[in-house]
Amino acid sequence: MIPSAPRYLVDIDVSTTPQVFTDTLIIGSGVAGLRAALAAARHGSVLIVTKDTIRESNTEYAQGGVAAVLSKADSVDVHVGDTLSAGVGLCEEDVVRMVVTEGPERLREVLDWGGNFDRKDGEVLLTREGGHSRHRIAHAGGDATGHELQNVFIRKVKEADIRVWDYSFLVDLLTRDGECLGALVQAQAGERRIVWAGATLLASGGACQIYRESTNPAVSTGDGIAAALRAGAVCRDLEFVQFHPTVLYIAGAARKLISEAVRGEGGVLRNLAGERFMDRYDERAELAPRDIVSRAITSEMAARGESHVLLDMRGLGADRIASRFPGIADTCRSFGVDPATDAVPVRPSAHYFVGGVKVDRNGETTIRRLYGCGEVTASGVHGANRLGSNSLLEGLVFGARAGEHAGQRASGPPADAVRSFRGKGPRPAREHLDLLDMRNSLTSLVGRAAGILRAHEPLQSARQTLDRWAQYALVRRFDAPAGWELQNMMTISRLLIEAAWLREESRGAHARRDFPERDDARWRGHLNLKIRGEPTYTPLGSTEEVQIDRGPENA
């Protein structure tokens, strides 16, 4: 698919690089990585490598909460049904059922470990969000759920005496004969180390930074997905990127999202004329699933030539806003908007990376001894669109499962690899490459071609542009994370655009202007992508990889 992509980003030589050994190596310190570390540590030594502070992650910024069946008015079947409905026919039902069934136990564990979730009369408070037909979202600190999860897990990881290397960057996974032996890691000061690991587990999060407008922090550049692709792993569902419908749109303000829970609690959307419009697009109005709300906002803005819409939460009253959404209220006020008296300007932004490294129910990828959990993976739980608050749940459940399996399977690296392993990276280039300019061009291109509404022509043109860029940007050697992040983002963007170009239908988070209907006959299945080799198609529920039925335009 990307003939110019090198196997390794840099040269790797055991004779000149310090070596470290661990039973389980975990890349990333969000909910999935930290939960996995606790599970793997029951079986042997664990090393967590994370590219910023231990806290910095998507998890840290998660607001709304964790979806779990905790109330008597709810049931596993209803939660499964809501998830399947949001996933628009592409969820793997057995995986959904497993996550929904194990979720309450994983969340209770967090509460037992001191998780300070919001309660009333001792009972965990549950709210409702778009796409959920019951109150089942547990939250902490009003709208600081991810922060509280990180508090709990960072404390537990310290108590368990698990080694953590912060400011340390996964450059590449080391493989031989289809087996992962560990990774090359570069610390902030520039020194590199080879980490030999009995099992390596990717928990490095998603890649929404490939979009110019994104709610994700700077760490979300998809490094783990790209490293797995270079190592030969199969990725799937890359065409599905969820846009959060209501992201603060104020010049100079970070693209901070306004939680779905605001609409769950009664917030309404208005166009700039002050009219509510959601009921014209879907009978569930503001409580429709995210993709429907995002597309409705995009259509409303386009129809009226407006750059944003308004989220009106004035009906909740000042006290309720202050107690339920203190973080959101503070952010808005710091930019001169008081949600108690003003409607808040919002527009959709890239938010959740549905696709990723293909894993089975135990988090095993298609490469032996390489595992994955959380947003870096495509486990089959989200289908064509993630149901809000199901991703922290997935991180908890798959973190525990993948950590357990990786820890159990961990065994030492082959002695001859430790003596003689070598990997070949590209040569340094003489011409300077303006990384910032290249990154801005890339994120704009991806937004234009593979944003909320897609079509053949822009996708086709983006494929050609990316192939041209790859010929000079992927084949050069960089020596620091900024260059590697760009190469990782280019790799993922190319495959995402290929998948979006191939899938000639509209489903969930993938909407094609030229193919507005869902087409189950051709497309009820997953697109599998690799760096080397042609994309393939796997019908839902099957493990078989078959040739893609290319339409006349793509033949």
Pattern of binders to ligand FAD over 401-440, x per CB under 6 A?
Answer: ----------------------------------------
Q: Where are the alpha helices (DSSP H) in 350-453?
A: 390-409, 415-420, 435-450
* β-pair type (377-378, 356-358): parallel
Residue 532 appears among annotated catalytic residues: no
Q: Is 289 in the site for ligand FAD (CB under 6 A)?
A: no
Q: Is 49 in the site for ligand FAD (CB under 6 A)?
A: yes
CA distance 299 to 305: 10
Among 153, 169, 277, 469, binds ligand FAD (CB under 6 A): 169
In sequence order, which residues have a C-beta less than 8 Å from that of residue 235 and are 6 or more positions away?
225, 228, 229, 355, 356, 357, 358, 378, 495, 528, 529, 530
Among 50, 83, 366, 536, binds ligand FAD (CB under 6 A): 50
Pattern of binders to ligand FAD over 128-167, x per CB under 6 A?
Answer: -----------------xx---------------------
Pattern of binders to ligand FAD over 66-85, x per CB under 6 A?
Answer: --------------------
Q: With beta carbons less than 8 A apart as the criterion, state whether 126 and 71 touch.
A: yes
Q: Catalytic residue, from 212, 236, 263, 290: name it.
A: 290
DSSP structure class, residue 156 = H
Residue in the block written with tokens 């988090």: 363
Among 127, 200, 209, 215, binds ligand FAD (CB under 6 A): 215
Among 2, 10, 25, 56, binds ligand FAD (CB under 6 A): 56
User: b/e per residue, 168-180, with b = 16+ CB within 10 A?
Assistant: bbbbbbbbeeeeb
Bridge partner residues of 346 (DSSP): 248, 309
Q: Closest CB to ligand FAD among 29 and 536?
A: 29
Q: Taking the complex as a whole, how short is the minimal distance between the CB of residue 349 and ligand FAD, in angstroms? A: 10
Specify the 3-state DSSP secondary structure of 145. Answer: helix
Give the strands of the sheet with 536-539, arranged side by side. Answer: 377-378, 356-358, 235-236, 525-529, 536-539
Q: With beta carbons less than 8 A apart as the criterion, state whether 527 and 537 touch.
A: yes
Specify the 3-state DSSP secondary structure of 408. Answer: helix
CA distance 202 to 150: 18
Helix-helix angle 390-409:31-40, to 10 degrees = 30
CA distance 297 to 303: 10
CA distances from 495 to 214, 250, 360, 462 (A): 19, 32, 21, 11
Q: Closest CB to ligand FAD among 247 and 502?
A: 247
Q: Closest CB to ligand FAD among 75 and 188?
A: 188
Q: Closest CB to ligand FAD among 261 and 459?
A: 261
Count of residues in contact with ligand FAD, rule CB under 6 A? 43
Among 22, 24, 63, 491, binds ligand FAD (CB under 6 A): 63
Q: Taking the complex as a whole, how short is the minimal distance between the CB of residue 46 and ligand FAD, in angstroms? A: 15
Pattern of binders to ligand FAD over 346-375, x per CB under 6 A?
Answer: ------x---------------------xx
Pattern of binders to ligand FAD over 13-32, x per CB under 6 A?
Answer: --------------xxxxxx
CA distances from 146 to 20, 142, 164, 256, 433 (A): 31, 11, 20, 14, 37
Q: How many residues does the chain have?
A: 555
Q: Is 61 in the site for ligand FAD (CB under 6 A)?
A: yes
Considering only the stretches 12-20, 59-67, 190-198, 463-471, report the one whose residues sit in contact with ligand FAD under the rule CB under 6 A.
59-67
Pattern of binders to ligand FAD over 496-535, x per CB under 6 A?
Answer: ----------------------------------------
Q: Taking the complex as a whole, how short is the minimal distance between the CB of residue 183 and ligand FAD, in angstroms? A: 9
Q: Is 331 in the site for ligand FAD (CB under 6 A)?
A: no
In sequence order, which residues have a C-beta less than 8 Å from that of residue 292 and are 6 or more positions away?
281, 282, 284
Considering only the stretches 91-99, 213-221, 267-275, 523-531, report the one whose residues sit in contact with ligand FAD under the rule CB under 6 A.
213-221
Among 100, 174, 219, 238, binds ligand FAD (CB under 6 A): 219
Token pair recorded at residue 326: 């203190």
Q: Closest CB to ligand FAD among 57 and 493?
A: 57
Q: Which amino acid is at 163?
A: R
Q: Taking the complex as a whole, how short is the minimal distance between the CB of residue 166 and ligand FAD, in angstroms? A: 9
Residues that bind ligand FAD (CB under 6 A): 27-33, 49-52, 56-59, 61-65, 145-146, 169-170, 203-205, 215-216, 219-220, 223-224, 257, 352, 374-376, 389-392, 395
| Active-site residue list | 290
